[in-house]
Amino acid sequence: MKYKALLFDFDGTVADTYDLCVESFRLTLLEALGKELSRAEITAHFGYNEEGVLRRFLGEERARETMPLLLTHYRTLMQQRNAAPFPGVRELLMQSRKQGYRIALATGKSKATTDISLDCYAWGDLFECVTTGSPLTQSKTGTMKQALTLLNVSPEEALYIGDAPSDVTSARGVPMRIAGAGWAASTDISLLKKAEPDYLFASIAELSQFLSGDAQ
């Protein structure tokens, strides 16, 4: 096998939750600030975890105080919208484990929203380890390195799978190879291509086929 470990992003990669995240912030900041923020204003700070995004608008102390409100909106929207993983993702993860890959989740989300999401999907046993984002940096490089340490694999033995240009930049900082996940409607394929990931897959089926070949 060329790779021993697969590290996955969450929003827009394994789950169709990107727009849900934006809406959670919109509702929270509308209550906290009393004004409507645009999608662009909110997503400009994505990469920080949820508290980090709130800090950019509210400051550190008020962001901590506002986190419970955001978690309430996030949990409610997960339930109301029946937010689901992309079709075929669970099968991909299970198949990859059977093929011998080490599987980790390395996300920019906070531990709190990650736990809500995994509980919603009953995915607690799918990932060997889960590492989450920081309120201090938009880069996932540290999150990726932490996952590699927990898995006890080298960067050369691992592949990151993510949907954003920032995922490519973060992976380069490890450095490790990255596969661009191009199947979400929320993904800007042109920007992802411009970031030059090592691989780019338009569907989960394409990624699955690639990994099956790598496992032989």
Q: DSSP for 43-64?
A: HTTBTB-HHHHHHHHH-HHHHH
Nearest to 214 by CA among 95, 116, 108: 95
Mean pLDDT over each residue of the chain, to the nearest integer:
94
Domain spans of the chain, in order of start: 5-15+85-215, 18-80
Higher pLDDT, 83 or 157: 157
pLDDT at 96: 95
Quick: pLDDT tens for 172-213. Answer: 999 999 999 999 998 999 999 999 999 999 999 999 999 998
Q: Residue 153 to residues 93, 101, 143, 175: CA-CA distances in angstroms? A: 18, 11, 14, 13
Dihedral angle, C-alpha 191, 143, 79, 42, nearest 10 °: -50
d(CA 124, CA 213): 27
Question: Quick one: average pLDDT of 121-147?
Answer: 94
d(CA 27, CA 39): 12
| Helix residue ranges per DSSP H, 34-187 | 39-43, 50-58, 60-80, 89-98, 111-121, 141-151, 165-172
Answer yes or no: are the C-beta atoms of 58 and 66 closer than 8 Å.
Answer: yes
pLDDT band at 125 (very low <50, low <70, confident <90, very high): confident
Higher pLDDT, 207 or 2: 207
Q: Residue 86 to residues 11, 83, 118: CA-CA distances in angstroms? A: 10, 9, 14
d(CA 135, CA 138): 8
Q: Does domain 5-15+85-215 have CATH number 3.40.50.1000?
A: yes
Residue in the structure block whose two tokens are 């932490």: 146
Quick: pLDDT tens for 31-77. Answer: 999 999 999 999 999 999 999 999 999 999 999 999 999 999 999 99
Lowest-pLDDT choice from 80-89, 167-176, 194-203: 80-89
Nearest to 110 by CA among 133, 138, 84: 133
pLDDT at 215: 60
Quick: pLDDT tens for 151-166. Answer: 999 999 999 999 999 9
pTM of the shown model: 0.94
